[in-house]
Amino acid sequence: MTNWLKRSAWTGLTALGFWTLLGCQEEIVAILEGDLVPVEAVTVEVVLPFHEFAENLEAWGGYGQPYQLTTDVIANAFEGSLDARVLSSWFSYPRSAQVRDPSGVVRTDTLLTFVGGRLVARFDTLSSAFGEQTELAVGALPQEWDFVTATWELAVDTVGERREWGEGGAGPVTPVSTAFWEPAQGDSVVFEIDSAGVALWGDSAGVRKGARLEALEENVRLELTDLDLWLITRPSVNPDTLVELEVATRSRTFVYSPQLQAPENEIRIGGVPAWRSVFTMNLPEVLNGPESLCQTVQCPLELNPESLVSASLVLTTRTPPPGFLPTDSLFLDIRPVLEPSRLPKSPLGTSLGVTLGTLLEPAKFGEEVGSQIEIQLGPYVQNLIGEEDLVGIDVPKTLALLSSFEPFALFLASFEGPDSPLGPELKLILTLADEVLIR
């Protein structure tokens, strides 16, 4: 290639690169100019009280039963209000045991003599509330009961059968044993049972009726994690030896009083049976306030999905009824009610919040009562303003506030209701410019 051709080729390539680069620069500038928020954009915060964005708050109860919980509650006039007793039943006593005879040979013994027993109760020491020690009592129940439906007043409450206890609180009982629990000595308490006590549960009917466990001292609340019945038997193949045999648990639950009624002017979640609080969104199409908004932009201001940056439901905690103060954290969920006409049995949609729900620490309802809890609802509110979601489906307007896990515990989470000065609020962040993404 001649020098002239080389210079011509270099000049052509340089020119081509220059115009290509210039074209790319113009395209980049054009793209940036299209996505930049104009410098005159205004971002404002709008806080709407409940009656300006929602209506028809109602509490629904009855979700789940105490037997479904992993712990049971024992209480006696706790905070001057709560009483709770544990009920437990067992399968029939073992009819045989593998026993080593005096010669050392292991044999099956079917002639067992039960001379006593032990009932071992274990507690959650962190969630229990009482003094240095507390006295507990075990009694044999005189009648059969249904572990799914039993309550403080009713032994059975099934379709076609409704039977009351002889006296309120799953009574009366035949006293069997008492014991003192001192947490400093461990998380367990042992009730010694004599042969007469063991005989009360010796037949199939008696063991199905089971036992009642209660606290004898007032202002006590205990979390029971386990309850095991052990029998002490003297085998016929080796009468000089005592053998312990465990009796399998058939069912366990607890009954309590008072049974709370639906609240007024209160948002309530949790408990067992669990509570849900349901309301209907009714967003305004235009905003005529507050004054701070109208001082920044011209009112009335039309709400549109493109201007919404974020949205959150703000709740203020309040103290639950006496005896139902949270002793552990729980999670608050919010879900759409898919068929409001079928409440309280309407199916719910998927969660609108974070995966596990919004964490609620117990202190927020005690020493830090009055704390604000924010639940992020940006994408939902954006779809609600546009009246349909991304695939063109109408957005449900009825929402349910509930515990992420139902039932979770006996305690409740309570929040100020619509008529309170600290009632629910909807906080909107709006950017009055071109469309922006929801955070």
Answer whether the bond into residue 235 is a cis peptide, omega within 30°. no
Residue 4's SS3 state is: helix
Rounded Cα–Cα distance for residues 351 and 336 (Å) = 8
Q: Are 135 and 189 in contact (CB under 8 A)?
A: no
Per-residue pLDDT, 15 = 39
pLDDT tens, position by position, for the chain (439 residues)?
A: 444 333 344 444 443 343 333 344 333 333 334 455 445 678 888 999 999 999 999 999 999 999 999 999 999 999 999 999 999 999 989 888 888 888 788 888 888 888 999 999 999 998 888 878 899 999 999 999 999 999 999 999 999 899 999 999 999 999 999 999 998 888 999 999 999 999 999 887 788 899 999 999 999 999 999 999 999 998 888 888 888 999 999 999 999 999 999 999 999 999 999 999 999 999 998 888 788 788 778 788 888 888 899 999 999 999 999 999 999 999 999 999 999 999 999 999 999 987 789 999 999 999 999 999 999 999 999 999 987 655 567 899 999 999 999 999 999 999 999 999 999 999 999 888 644 334 3
Nearest to 400 by CA among 261, 247, 278, 313: 278
Rounded Cα–Cα distance for residues 138 and 175 (Å) = 6
Q: Are 85 and 224 in contact (CB under 8 A)?
A: no
Rounded Cα–Cα distance for residues 406 and 275 (Å) = 9
Long-range contacts of the stretch 159-166 (C-beta < 8 A, 24+): 166/142
Rounded Cα–Cα distance for residues 64 and 61 (Å) = 9
CA distances from residue 109 to 52, 94, 113, 348 in whole angstroms, order as listed: 76, 11, 10, 56
* C-alpha dihedral (294, 296, 299, 303), degrees to nearest 10: -110
CA angle 89, 93, 98 (to 5 degrees): 140
Rounded Cα–Cα distance for residues 334 and 279 (Å) = 11
| Dihedral of alpha carbons 304, 306, 310, 312, sign | positive
CA distances from residue 64 to 70, 225, 306, 410 in whole angstroms, order as listed: 13, 19, 41, 11
For residue 301, which amino acid is it? Answer: L
Does 42-63+260-432 carry CATH code 3.30.70? no
Q: Are 382 and 395 in contact (CB under 8 A)?
A: no
Domain boundaries, the chain: 42-63+260-432, 82-257
Tokens at 187, concatenated: 């998380």
Residue 431's SS3 state is: strand
* E runs forming strands in 64-210: 72-78, 82-90, 97-100, 106-109, 112-123, 134-140, 154-158, 161-164, 174-181, 188-194
Rounded Cα–Cα distance for residues 284 and 279 (Å) = 16
Per-residue pLDDT, 198 = 92
Radius of gyration, CA atoms only, the chain: 33
For residue 12, which amino acid is it? Answer: G
Per-residue pLDDT, 50 = 97
Per-residue pLDDT, 30 = 35
For residue 403, which amino acid is it? Answer: S
Per-residue pLDDT, 31 = 37
| DSSP designation for 435 | -
Q: Which residues of 318-336 are buried (b: 16+ CB within 10 A; e: fewer)?
A: bebbebbbbbeebbbbbbb
Q: Are 99 and 106 in contact (CB under 8 A)?
A: yes
